[in-house]
């Protein structure tokens, strides 16, 4: 569990099965932020506060958009797509992907720092170090 400044109580969960339709359909986001405490079990059936998907070369946009619609349908506040090749971030809003430079995510417990420019800068640095 993470507590930032005593305000945030969430778990950042990588690639955990998330229930979309009871006993029928599941999604496995790259990362999700879930309020704590989480119910016991192998499947998260509480609504995540945020879902972050990282675009990979194998991803197809129609399938990606359907995933995002599924997340919004169950009440996920923030659906974010990060493109590590183009170094851009998008938010899914009203059925569309909108490019955005995030600085934070507004969660029920307050504003969580989420600086995508700094994140992409760190990625570029790591790539440059690896190429030397």
Percentage of the residues of the chain whose pLDDT score is greater than 70: 79
Sign of the C-alpha dihedral computed for residues 64, 70, 23 and 16 taken in this order: positive
According to the model, what pLDDT value does residue 88 have?
98
Residue of 17, 5, 24 whose CA lies nearest to 48: 17
Position 99 in a domain = yes
Asked if residue 2 belongs to a domain, the reply is no
Nearest in space to 50 (alpha carbons), one of 89, 6, 88, 85: 89
Answer yes or no: is 1 within a domain. Answer: no
CATH number at residue 88: 3.90.1570.10
Is the model's pLDDT at 75 over the cut of 50? yes
The rounded Cα 31 to chain-centroid distance in angstroms is: 5
Q: Which domain holds residue 95?
A: 10-130
Whether 5 is covered by a domain: the verdict is no
Q: Tell me: the pLDDT tens digits for 28-44?
A: 888 888 887 777 777 77
Number of domains making up the chain: 1
């Amino acid at each position: 569990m993470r507590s930032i400044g005593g305000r945030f109580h969430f778990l950042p969960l990588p690639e955990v099965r998330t229930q979309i339709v009871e006993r029928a359909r599941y999604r496995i986001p790259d990362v999700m932020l879930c309020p704590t405490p989480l119910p016991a079990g192998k499947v998260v059936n509480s609504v995540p506060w945020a879902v972050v998907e990282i675009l990979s070369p194998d991803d197809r946009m129609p399938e990606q958009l359907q995933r995002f619609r599924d997340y919004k349908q169950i009440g996920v506040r923030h659906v974010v797509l990060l493109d590590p090749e183009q170094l851009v971030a998008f938010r899914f809003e009203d059925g569309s992907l909108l490019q955005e430079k995030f600085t934070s995510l507004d969660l029920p417990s307050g504003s969580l720092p989420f600086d995508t420019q700094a994140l992409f800068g760190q990625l570029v640095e790591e790539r440059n170090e690896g190429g030397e």
